[in-house]
A and B are shown apart, each in its own frame.
Chain A
Amino acid sequence: QVQLQESGPGLVKPSQTLSLTCTVSGGSITSGGYYWSWIRQHPGKGLEWIGYIYSGGSTSYNPSLKSRLTISLATSKNQFSLKLNSVTAADTAVYYCARDLWGFDYWGQGTLVTVSS
């Protein structure tokens, strides 16, 4: 059974970088031809796709975040990561990682990141 778990700071100061890691267990991140996505949900709001990294390393980002965003793989640790630069209060959200092929079939539990001084 595939499981995903987000980790990282729950509080980030404005203008700094938000960094999160998703650890995948129950399967290799480089096999199966999957995409590995980040999705966020602002408090009380809907879902927003942030971007994905393919198991081969290529990426696709939401244009609304592209200029501030980096998603990378750490294959030896079976992890993928998110870095979002120059954050503001508008980046406060629950951040989810998910496996992506025909829809998002496995999700992490989500982690709340608050941007505040």
Chain B
Amino acid sequence: EIVLTQSPGTLSLSPGERATLSCRASQSVASNYLAWYQQKPGQAPRLLIYGASSRATGIPDRFSGSGSGTDFTLTISRLEPEDFAVFYCQQYGLSPWTFGQGTKVEIK
């Protein structure tokens, strides 16, 4: 199975700052079938990005995804107070679908 490794584990930033989250795959993700999710406490995850770089419906343009092959990045251009949460990457190019372990973005 494809193992996804996210870094850093925790990111401490202030509102208005830029956040850069990394997701590295143990092998190439077919067709860049990689998604990003945001999860807040007590809630289900929310799809942010699919296909490595396409924003899901209703997602603000401050969220962007990039990358290909084994290295992917989620960027939040200017953090809003509601953006602080845990973020997961997930690949759906090869079964079993797998998730990264998550990056927590916390208020500094």
Contact = CB atoms under 8 A, between A and B. Distances in A.
Interface of A: 37, 46-49, 60-64, 96, 98, 100, 102-105, 107-110
B61 to A, nearest CB: 18
B67 to A, nearest CB: 15
A103 B49 CA distance: 8
10 contacts: A47-B88, A48-B99, A49-B90, A49-B99, A60-B96, A96-B45, A102-B54, A104-B35, A105-B50, A105-B57
Interface in B32-88: 33, 35, 37, 43-47, 49-51, 54, 56-57, 88
Given A104-B35, A105-B56, A47 B96 contact: no
Which of A98, A105, A109 neighbours the largest number of chain B CB atoms within 10 Å of its CB?
A105
A46 B101 contact: yes
Nearest to B92: A103
A107 to B, nearest CB: 4
Interface of B: 1, 33, 35, 37, 43-47, 49-51, 54, 56-57, 88, 90, 92, 95-102
Contact of B97 (A49, A105, A107, A110): A49
Cβ-closest 8 pairs across A and B: A103-B35, A107-B44, A103-B50, A102-B50, A49-B97, A47-B99, A62-B96, A105-B47
A110 B35 contact: no
